[in-house]
Amino acid sequence: MSRFNNAVQSCPSEEMKTLLAAAAHAALTAGAIIRELYDKPHTIKMKGEIDLVTEADVAAETAIIASLREDAPDDIAVMAEESFDETTEPGKGRTWVIDPLDGTTNFAHNIPLFAVSIALVENRQPELGVIYCPMQDELFVTSRGGGAWLNDRKIRVTETDFLVQSLVATGFPYDIRDHLNQILEQTRSVLPKVRDIRRCGAAAVDLAYVACGRFDGFWEMALKPWDTAAGCLLVKEAGGRVTDFLGQQYTPFKKEILATNTRLHTLLLDLIA
Ligand code: IPD
Ligand code: CA
Ligand code: CA
């Protein structure tokens, strides 16, 4: 429990403490499995023309669901990327929203930047979230009202006020061809205004890095709920702001996300809207 004791103790409700500990435990368990598989030859299957799935995505998801079933009540629904079927879209009830391996393309190419992401969503908004980067052994933990934590220390977004001093991140969806013009336009407007742009290849990591002050902002379109459910709460709890591209309230069921240190939000929104 020492890996996430402070984060769990800061969680406002007793029930949520148990669920947050269950999510953190599941993420660490899955992360250990992914780390173990990292150096071994991979089994890569295509989900679409570009979208991959490896043995690690499937093994991690199975382990997360088993771990949550053991540590948390089993009346909580599950929405997990590799076993998702459209008929199980969550309603208002509680749902575990799981990306067992965010950054599969990095994993498949032996780039050690990827994460496990688990959130508990209720009324379509995240109540708690965990993002674990196994190769860096970095565990990001958050709960609504309980702050944002990295390896059990509180984290905050940056205080950067000027775009010229900002490092921002973005991502490219698998159906890039359907969005190419908009993505190139956004890049064309942002790139000359900021210090630089990063494309890390894992949206959950991008959001975690905004929360802990490594990036000043992140935007991406065509995302899925499991990419952002934990990360959007983490950024907000770290003092950041998260909206869609129109500046409207974000939920993980929206496809477009802009997450910033709050101070740069309007400036970035103007550039990408
Ligand atoms: C992908 C990553 C990537 C983002 C894609 C996502 P996956 O998730 O987060 O950074 O650009 O839009 O689909 O497939 O690696 O879990
Ligand atoms: Ca993902
Ligand atoms: Ca994934």
The DSSP code sequence of 89-152 is ---SS-EEEEEEEE-HHHHHTT----EEEEEEEETTEEEEEEEEETTTTEEEEEETTS-EEETT
Two structure tokens written together for 166? 């900002």
Would you say residue 262 has pLDDT above 70?
yes
Q: What is the pLDDT of residue 173?
A: 86
Q: Is residue 86 very low, low, confident or very high in pLDDT (cuts 50, 70, 90)? A: confident
Domain 163-272: top CATH class: alpha beta
Residue type, 192: P
Q: Check if 225 has its Cβ closer than 6 Å to any atom of ligand 1.
A: no
CA angle 159, 169, 186 (to 5 degrees): 110
Per-residue pLDDT band for 88 (boundaries 50, 70, 90) equals low
pLDDT (mean) for 227-236: 98
What the block records as the tokens of 96 is 């575990």
Pocket test for ligand 1, best of 64, 102, 209 (most atoms within 8 A of CB): 102
pLDDT in tens, 92-127: 789 999 999 999 999 999 999 999 999 999 999 999
Residue 129 has pLDDT above 60, yes or no: yes
User: What pLDDT digit, counting tens, does each position of 154-211 carry?
Assistant: 999 999 999 999 999 999 988 888 889 999 999 999 999 999 999 999 999 999 999 9
64-225-147 Cα angle (round to 5) = 75
User: Is a pLDDT exceeding 70 seen at residue 1?
Assistant: no
Among protein residues, the one whose CA lies closest to atom 15 of ligand 1: 103
Q: Which atom of ligand 1 is nearest to the CA of 99?
A: 16
Whole-number pLDDT of residue 177:
85
What number does the ligand 1 atom closest to the CA of 204 have? 9
- Indicate the domain borders of the chain: 5-154, 163-272
Nearest-ligand number for the alpha carbon of 51: 1
60 C-beta closer than 6 A to ligand 1: no
pLDDT score for 256: 97
CATH dotted code for 5-154: 3.30.540.10
Residue (of 127, 155, 150) closest to 137 by Cα position: 150
The CA 260 to ligand 2 mean position distance, Å, reads 19
Can you say how many angstroms the Cα of residue 259 is from the centroid of all Cα atoms in its chain?
11
What is the number of the ligand 1 atom nearest to the C-alpha of 223? 12
Mean pLDDT of the chain: 96
The Cα angle at residue 134 between residues 82 and 256, in degrees rounded to 5: 55
| Same fold for the pair 5-154 and 163-272 | no
Measured between alpha carbons, how far is 128 from 142 in angstroms, rounded to an integer? 6
